Amino acid sequence: MSTFRNYVNGEFVDAADGRTLQIVDPTTGQAYATSPLSGAADVDAAMASAAGAFETWRDATPSTRQKLLLKIADAVEARADELVDAECRNTGKPRGLTKSEEIGPMVDQIRFFAGAARLLEGKAAGEYMDGMTSIIRREPVGVCAQVAPWNYPMMMAVWKFAPAIAAGNAVVLKPSDTTPASTVLLAEIVGAAIAELELPAGIFNVICGDRETGRLMVEHHTPAMASITGSVRAGIQVAESAAKDVKRVHLELGGKAPVVVFEDADIAEAVEGISVAGFFNAGQDCTAATRVLVHESIHDAFVEALAKAAAETKTGGIDDEDVLYGPLNNANQLAQVSGFIERLPAHAKVEAGGHRVGEVGYFYAPTVVSGLQQDDEIIQNEVFGPVITVQKFTGEDQVVAYANGVDYALASSVWTKDHARAMRMSRHLDFGCVWINTHMQLAAEMPHGGFKKSGYGKDLSSYGFEDYTRIKHVMTAI
């Protein structure tokens, strides 16, 4: 059994009371490691470490912050194989895809925020009142309590700590209770960079634990900001807890992305792009292409082609060949995905999949369901599994109503050759991102975040960086 430990003030430590959690390999369903089940004493220690470091780190020059992040990026790149091994053992993801699709973007994102550290923006200083000069200061907010999810453990850790550190904040980061492995390794990498530059050790801290640990972090008096990527339920709880002492909150929550396919779309291209974007990472992605809306004139041909693509898509172990995705993350998630299929209404039709794969691990077949109606449970609620639903529509007004007719508003896509139509749809779709003739592509320079119950605040981009800063007006008589 491997043992993961908290990282506090530059040292790896066990939980103060010695409690642990079992970490399960989702390809086998068997425990392979333990991690700390951190309590109040552990949260206190991590927050004290971060608060102490912040007193110095807040005054570090942008070039110093950049230097640290660039060193971290280089180290992540150099230790890519170790990170991939840890991530894949903990999540069951295919090794090759994890290295090619995650390490490069992670390194690029860290380097982007290294650059953002030196590009602080604000209004020009000047005389906006007679006899007075005003300037704007952009400052770090303070200690940030951050909670990362289990679907992309190491990449989401980067999305959390990189902008926060770039802005001059100190971090206490908690990985999901099921996926601490790569985050603990990142702590070693980040800690080594901090030590080499002789910076305060408490800039970056990691504590492992469960929902109670996260609650203790958010409710702690030290953090000035709480950031979470997770479910709507978890986001609401964080917002309620943070409201008690008016903490800033950054929420990236669930999604139910509409994928609108018009009659002029190339069916083969659309099916190829949508099937990958729907099944990648076992559909465990808030932006996954899981809710397809197809024009009635091409509906039947599209469903047939999508079902064929699903049947040809493979799920399997870490080192299996030609595998697009691995298992679902945990037994509860397998039960959730299975439950949606078991509760399908009579008018729904399973065109492909709809069942568990094998008896070992948490694998689920690529699934396509047609014949659905707008108020069906599987249309309104996030499945977070390798399940693509298909509805038909007749015109733009109807499809906009269908697309926007859910509580989520994170991502969407439109598939058409008509540029004017694509522009109209991008205006009317009530989602934080609209892709056109593609889906689930991300750039470090562009913001990621939603509306409604998908949360608020942005990840990536200069907007994500600014979320970790505060604005101060300074006025002086002249």
Q: Can you give the pLDDT at residue 201? A: 98
Q: Can you give the pLDDT at residue 467? A: 97
> Tokens standing for 185?
């390794």
Query: What is residue 469's three-state secondary structure?
Result: strand
Q: Can you give the pLDDT at residue 82? A: 98
Q: CA–CA separation, 252 vs 410, rounded Å?
A: 9
Give me the residues paired with residue 21 across strands.
Answer: 35
Q: What is the crossing angle of helices 62-78 and 153-166, to 10°?
A: 160
3-state helix/strand/coil string of 233-296? HHHHHHHHHHHCCCCEEEEECCCCCEEEECCCCCHHHHHHHHHHHHHHHHHCCCCCCCEEEEEC
**Catalytic residue positions, numbered:** 252, 286
Are 245 and 238 in contact by the 8 Å Cβ rule? The answer is no
Q: Can you give the pLDDT at residue 187? A: 98
Give me the residues paired with residue 325 across strands.
Answer: 315
* Angle, CA 110 vertex, CA 224 and CA 203 arms, to 5°: 40
Q: Does domain 2-253+454-477 have CATH number 3.60.21.10?
A: no
Give me the residues paired with residue 170 across strands.
Answer: 143
Q: Predicted confidence band at 167 (pLDDT cuts at 50, 70, 90)? A: very high
Are 142 and 247 in contact by the 8 Å Cβ rule? The answer is no
Q: Can you give the pLDDT at residue 94? A: 98
> In 3D, which of 79, 63, 105, 81 has the Cα closest to residue 188?
79
How large is the average pLDDT for residues 339-357?
98
Q: CA–CA separation, 146 vs 153, rounded Å?
A: 13
φ, ψ at 362 (rounded to 5°): -115, 45
Percent of the chain with pLDDT over 90: 99
Percent of the chain with pLDDT over 70: 100
Output DSSP code: residue 125: P
Query: What is residue 325's three-state secondary structure?
Result: strand
How large is the average pLDDT for residues 389-395?
98
> Tokens standing for 61?
């020059």
Q: If you search the block for the tokens 């990449």, which residue do you land on?
A: 155
Give me the residues paired with residue 412 across strands.
Answer: 434
> Tokens standing for 216?
């203790």
Q: Can you give the pLDDT at residue 59? A: 97
Are 154 and 182 in contact by the 8 Å Cβ rule? The answer is yes
> In 3D, which of 286, 258, 251 has the Cα closest to residue 384?
286
* Predicted confidence (pLDDT) per residue in 73-99, tens digit: 999 999 999 999 999 999 999 999 999
**Which pTM was predicted?**
0.97
Are 382 and 340 in contact by the 8 Å Cβ rule? The answer is no
- Name the residue ranges covered by the structural domains of the chain: 2-253+454-477, 258-444
Q: Predicted confidence band at 394 (pLDDT cuts at 50, 70, 90)? A: very high
Query: What is residue 60's three-state secondary structure?
Result: coil
> In 3D, which of 46, 37, 288, 55 has the Cα closest to residue 177?
37
Q: How high does pLDDT run on average in the chain? A: 97
φ, ψ at 82 (rounded to 5°): -65, -45
Q: CA–CA separation, 68 vs 72, rounded Å?
A: 6
CATH for 258-444 is 3.40.309.10
* Predicted confidence (pLDDT) per residue in 175-203, tens digit: 999 999 999 999 999 999 999 999 999 99
